[in-house]
Amino acid sequence: MFNFDFFTPTEIKFGKEAEKETGKMIRKYHGTKVLLHYGSGSVVKSGLLDKIKVSLDEEHIGYVELGGVVPNPHLDKVYEGIELAKKEKIDFILAVGGGSVIDSSKAIAYGLAEPDQDVWDLYEHTRTAKDCFPVAAVLTIAAAGSEMSNSSVITNTESNKKRGYNSDLCRPKFAIMNPEWTLSLPDYQTASGCVDIMMHTMERYFTQGGNMEITDGIAEALLRTVMNNARILHDDPKNYEARAEVMWASSLAHNGLTGCGANGSDFASHMLEHEMGGMFDVTHGAGLAAVWPSWARYVYKEDMDRFVKFAKQVMGVDADVPDEEAVLEGIRRMEEFYHAIGMPVNMSELGIHPTKEQIDEMAERCAKATGGCKGTAKILYKEDMVNIYKMAL
C-alpha cells in the first residue's frame, strides 16, 4: 500500500425530510445570506425550493435565487452568479440540485473568494485557488458525488472546453440527502447517474499498485451494489430503498474512500468524455458508458491483474476461467449491463458521429488538458486517445 491522506469534512444529513434541517445547518456553518442556486426549475415544481425557503425563514437567514444551471454547467452562468452574489453581499452558496448545480456553485464560490481574478483561470490550471466561499448542497440527483468531493467541472461554451478543477477548499460544509427527491427523475438520468457513480470508483480501481484489500473490498461491494440497484430502478423507478442505496453510493464513490492506499487514479475515461461533452454536449454518464468499453479493451493488457480481479470479483466471471478470457468476458458483461439499463456502449449508440477531424481535435484538447498524457492503468498519449475514440465509434 501507498501512504495516503483522507479528508472528508462534509457533514451529511440523510433520509426522509432531511431538507427541513437546511436553515439550522446554514446557521451552524455561520451563513447569514445565501445564494440559492439551482437548475431548470424542477426543484420549484416539486416544492423542494419552497421547503428550503421555509427552513431558511425559520432561522431568519436571507437569500436570493439564481436558477438556470444546465447539464455540463456553463461558465457564463458562473460569472452571472459571481456578480449577483457580490451585489447582494452573499456569504454562503447553497446548491439545490445535482452535480451540475453543485459544480457551478463551487465555481461561484471560488470567484467570490478572489474577486479580482478570473475564475476560469483555475479550470485552465494557470493558477491555484487560495480561498473559497462556503458551499453546501441539497441533493436531488445521485451521480456526480460533488456533494462530498473536492472537484468541479465547468464548460466554457465560447471555446467548447470542458475542464475540471480540484481543491479541498471547495468541499461542501454539509450535504442534505433525501432519496425521495430523486423519485421523479427520468430513467435515462437515473441510469446515467449510476454509470457516473461506478466510473468514479473504477477510475480509482484500475491502478498499477498499492491496492489495499479493504479498499478493494469497499470498491467492489460499491460497484455490485450500484449495478444491482440500477437494475431494480430500471424496472421499479419509485423504489425508495434502491434510491437510497444509489444516493449514498454516489457520495462514497467520489469522496476519496475508494482510492485509499493506491498509487493515484486513472481518470482517463473521464478526460476523454470531457472532450466529448465539450464538443457535443452529451450527458456525462452516458458519455462515460460509450467510451469505457473501448478504453478497457485498449489498456487491459497493461493492467491484467486488476482487470482479472474486476472480472471475477465484480462481474461474476468464474474463478477458473483463464485470465485474458475472463477480462474480455468481464468487459462484455459490463456492456450487457449498460444495455440492460438503457445506456450506450459506443458513440454511435450515444447519437454522435465525430469526423476524423473532430476526433483529432478532441484528442489534441484532451492531451493538452492533461499535460500531455493521462492514466495509470496505461499512460495514454494523444495517439492512444485518437485510437480509443476510433474504437468507440
> What local confidence, expressed as pLDDT, does residue 115 receive?
96
> What local confidence, expressed as pLDDT, does residue 12 receive?
97
**Buried b or exposed e, range 156-181, using 16+ CB within 10 angstroms:** beeebbbbbbebebbbbbbbbbbbbb
> What local confidence, expressed as pLDDT, does residue 383 receive?
98
**What 3-state class would DSSP assign to 129?**
coil
Picking from 121, 151, 125, the residue whose alpha carbon sits closest to that of residue 368 is 125
Domain boundaries defined on the chain = 11-181, 186-391
User: CA-CA distance, 67 to 36, in Å (whole number)?
Assistant: 8
Which sign, positive or negative, has the C-alpha torsion 58, 62, 64, 70? negative
pLDDT grade for 263, boundaries at 50, 70 and 90:
confident
> What local confidence, expressed as pLDDT, does residue 264 receive?
84
Q: Do domains 11-181 and 186-391 have the same CATH topology?
A: no
pLDDT grade for 28, boundaries at 50, 70 and 90:
very high
pTM: 0.91
Task: Kindly state the average pLDDT of the residues 118-132.
Answer: 97
At the topology level, CATH places domain 186-391 in Dehydroquinate synthase-like, alpha domain (1.20.1090)
Is the confidence at residue 42, as pLDDT, over 90?
Answer: no
At the topology level, CATH places domain 11-181 in Rossmann fold (3.40.50)
Instruction: Check: CB of residue 177 under 8 Å from CB of residue 12.
Output: yes
Instruction: Check: CB of residue 49 under 8 Å from CB of residue 211.
Output: no
Instruction: Check: CB of residue 178 under 8 Å from CB of residue 232.
Output: no
User: CA-CA distance, 13 to 158, in Å (whole number)?
Assistant: 38
User: CA-CA distance, 106 to 150, in Å (whole number)?
Assistant: 9
Radius of gyration of the chain (CA): 20
